[in-house]
Amino acid sequence: MPAQFTVKASDLKVLLAELRNVDPGLRKALQKEMRDDLKPIVTRLAGGVPKASPLSGFANAPTGSRWRWAGVSGRTQTPLGKRAKKPGFFPVVSMAFRSRGKAAGFEILELAGSKSSGSTPQGRGMIRALNAAAPMMSGLGRFLIPQAKGEAEPAVAIARNIIEKYVALVNRRIS
For residue 94, which phi and psi values (nearest 5 degrees)?
Answer: -150, 160
Q: Once rounded to an integer, what is the mean pLDDT over residues 66-83?
A: 81
Start-to-end CA span in the chain (Å): 36
Q: pLDDT tens-digit profile of 117-145? A: 888 998 899 889 988 988 888 778 888 88
Residue 36 has what pLDDT? 94
Residue 146 has what pLDDT? 86
Average pLDDT taken over every residue of the chain: 82
Q: Is pLDDT larger for residue 15 or for residue 90?
A: 15
Residue 5 has what pLDDT? 46
Residue 33 has what pLDDT? 93
Percentage, residues of the chain above pLDDT 90: 11
